[in-house]
Each structure stands twice: as C-alpha cells, then as structure tokens.
Structure 1
Amino acid sequence: MAIDVKVWSDFVCPFCMIAEKPLLDAIAASGAEVELQWMPFELRPYPAETLRPEDAYLQSIWPQSVYPVAERHGVRLKLPSISPQPHTGLAWEGYQFAQEQGSGNAYNDRVLKAFFQEDRDIGDLEILTQLATEVGLDQASFRSALEQRRYRTQHQQALLLAERMGVQAVPTILIGERLFAGVQSEQTLLEALRQEAKG
C-alpha cells in the first residue's frame, strides 16, 4: 500500500522550493511506493497585496535566511524581480488540472523553477500554459480549463483541508499522520517514510 504524503506549499514561497529536494531525495532513497500530493496554501490570496522584491522585507530575508538554507540543501534559486509578486490561485487551479492528468509533481516542479530560477510571471495565463505544455499537458485543454475557471471549486476545497488540518505555514509536510513544519532534512523525512512503511 502506498504511503500518503501531502505537502502544503505555495509557488511564491522559496522555502517550498527548497523543501522539495530533500523530500524527493528521501522518497527515492526509501524505495517505498508513495502517493505525493502538493496542497495549496496561498500566502496572499487575491485581492490581498503581494510582496515587492524591492521592499525591505524581501531584501533582508533572502540574504539572511533563504540563500543560506538553499545552499545547505544544494538548491539554486534567486529572488525573482517580478513586482509585485504574482497571486498563485490560477497556478494552483492549473495544478489541479495537472494532477488529474497524472502530472501534478512535474507541473509543481516546473512552476517553482520558472519563478525562482527563470524569473517568470507565474500569475500569467500564457506563461502557465507554456509551462504546462512543457510537462506534456495538452495546451488547448489546459488553457480552456483555466480560462473557464473549471478547477476553482476544487482548488477552494483543497484550501479548506489546510484549515481542517491546522496548517498555518508553508512548507508543511504530512507523512501518514505526522506533520513536519518547515524545510526538513532528507534523513528526517527518510526515517518518517521508513516508519510509515513498517505500519
């Protein structure tokens, strides 16, 4: 039986991109069958104002916290210049489409890299459609689904699960019944996966 792993995340959270690597490495090292789902936790849902990279908060937290953690985990990323930062609701609706097509993990990884490594506006429908196509999703179907907001209700329901689970920050990782808040080491996650595999 597959181990259920859920990760509450947001596409504009650099720590979520960093957390992806030790998690995927731990899953690979465990040899276990894992059902991995990325769960939405919008840090600043529309119409809330989003952060601006030129403001003091991001200018201070990236050198103090983000870059050192990224370096420890061997993850390359940079503070995106897009100002203000994009809202992520539409990108998450795209994730719901991708997940249904069996490409949720690939889409999640592609969107994170587009924002944090390529400085692309992941709130833009054209860019999201291009990214979806790059991971093998049908361009016309993806675009139509987002234009018609076909996954809006599904996305809202996924957001409610975070409330029910008591998730208050991202990344938060659920392995079986155990919640881990923040970026975790590969070893910590590997141990949790092995314990879960034992039942």
Structure 2
Amino acid sequence: MIRTERRRVMKISVYSDFVCPFCYVGLYSLSQAMADLDVELDFHPYELRRFPTPKVDPMHDEKRLKRFDEVLKPMAESLGVEMNLPMISPHPYTTDAFQGYYFAKQAGKGLDYVKLTFDVFYQQQKDIGNPVVLREIMDQLGLDGAAFLKALEAGTYRSEVDRDWEAKAELGIQGIPTYRIHGEEIRGYHTPQEWRTIILDQAEKTMAGMVCTSEGCGPAAE
C-alpha cells in the first residue's frame, strides 16, 4: 500500500507587543498574505518596556505624531484597515494584557485574543492596561471574563509573562515586529506582496528536502 504524503503546515513565529504600532499593521499584512496558504502563526509576547522604564506618550511627542500621520496611517489605509493613534496619555504597559493572552491561549483562543486586543487599542482606542477593558475582550471572545479577573488578581499567568520578559536577551531580537521561519529571521513591516514572496520562497526550500521513511514520504525533519 502506498502511503500518501502528509501535509505540512509552515509555522511563522511572531514576536510582538500590543503598543507597537508596526506590529499592528504587520499582523494584518501577514494575515492577508497567508489567507490561502498553509501557514500558522505562533505568537510570542515581547514586552517593550516595564516599570520603572517610563511609559511612552505619543500624544505629546511631535516625532511620533508625525510618523503616525505620514507612515503608519498610509500603511493601514493600503491594507484597508482602520487605525487610530490611541488617545491615551501615556500608553499602557502590557504585562496584564499578556497575562490575558495566556488565559485565552489555554482556552484555544490565543491568536483571536491577540487580534482583538490590537483592534481594541488601535481602532476603539481603549486602555488595554485596564483590567476592565481586558475583561470586555474576554467576554467578546466568549470566555469567562470574571474568571480572568480572578486569575489576573492571583497572578496565575504572571510566571509565563515573566519568563518571556527574562528570555528577551537570549532571543537577540533588535526590534519588533520580528518573525522567524525555519530559523530565518525577518524584521519589520512588509507588504502582503512581500510576505507572499517570503513565504513561497521558504516553502520551496522546505520542499527541496523531501524524503521517504517507514512512516511515509514528506519533508525531512528539521
């Protein structure tokens, strides 16, 4: 009996923070590029700053305001995505928001949480450092918002977030968004067209390693 080849899905690791505007448009761009491809996203929290590092206050920073108007807003418009500069001064830390990610992930809705949290911040302009707002996100996802608040108060998922924070130096990431595919690092924003080229090029590299074993035929193990 001839065994059929097992389909292999490409995984893209995404290192991102909710208060990184290029991470927001970058996720939309990548999502559009992979819509009809066998690709999965593997999200990794990457906090840019924690107390006592000062929070960023774009509303009182002319350079950031100009960059939003001249660079970020046109990027979002080219993707057909609504994007606002959150009228929150200063912007929040995201330690609690990433505890929310792990709460949602254990329910199988991690990536849904990531996308909705980005939208709540950059479209609805709500403070994602506020536990009440995070509970609303859980409720919208059909999760138990009250249980999340209890978990947040108890620090149930704090160890996971602290582990990510402590691992930053080992990752060697110079800036976010950063993506990794089969060990290759891709940094910064890319258009959907650029992403498709990157993904298809990586797929060709993977397909070049086809082998047959007692379990069947497919790509060589990495």
Per the TM alignment, residue 126 of structure 1 is displaced from its structure 2 partner at its CA by 0.8
Instruction: Return the structure number with greater relative CO, CA threshold 8 A, min gap 6.
Output: 1
Q: 1:110 aligns with which of 106, 110, 116?
A: 116
- SS at 2:35's partner residue? helix
Cα distance in 1 for residues equivalent to 2:94 and 2:161: 11
1:139 paired residue number: 145
Answer whether contact 1:98 1:104 (CA < 8 A) is retained. yes
Aligned to 1:172: 178
Deviation, 1:155, is: 1.1
Q: CA deviation at 1:124?
A: 0.4
Moved more, 187-196 or 103-112: 187-196
* TM-score (ref. length: structure 2): 0.81
Q: How far off is 1:140 after superposition?
A: 2.4
Deviations 1:103-130 (A, max 9, x none): 0111011111111111101000011011
Secondary structure class of the residue paired with 1:29: coil
**Cα distance per residue 1:74-126 (max 9 Å; x no partner):** 22111111111111111011111111211011101111111111110100001
Correspondence for 2:106: 100
Indicate conservation of the 8 Å contact 2:11/2:39, yes or no: no
Q: 8 Å contact 1:39–1:159 — kept in the other structure?
A: no
What's 2:33 paired with?
A: 26
Q: 2:53 aligns with which of 48, 52, 57?
A: 48
- Equivalent pairs counted in the alignment come to 197
- In percent, how many aligned pairs have the same letter? 32
SS of the residue 2:70 aligns to: helix
RMSD, aligned α-carbons: 1.8
Counterpart of 1:146, as a letter, is L
Any residues of structure 2 matched to 1:1-199 within 5 Å, and which? 1-30=8-37, 32-34=38-40, 36-52=41-57, 53-198=59-204, 199=206
Out of 128-137 and 188-197, give the one that drifted further. 188-197
Rate the CA distance shift 1:173–1:27 in 2: closer, same or farther, 3 A.
same
Indicate if the aligned counterparts of 1:29 and 1:190 stay in contact, CA closer than 8 A: no
SS at match of 2:89: coil
Q: TM-score, normalised by structure 1?
A: 0.90
**Unmatched tracts of structure 1, length 5 or more:** none
Report if aligned partners of 1:10, 1:43 keep a CA contact under 8 Å in 2. yes
Residues 3/162 of structure 1: CA separation in 2 closer, same or farther (3 Å cut): farther
1:64, CA displacement in angstroms? 2.6
Secondary structure of the residue aligned to 2:69 is helix
Q: Distance in 2 between matches of 1:37 and 1:156?
A: 18
Q: For the Cα contact (< 8 Å) 2:128–2:134, is it kept in 1?
A: yes
Q: Tell me, which stretches of 5 or more residues in structure 2 are unaligned?
A: 1-7, 207-222
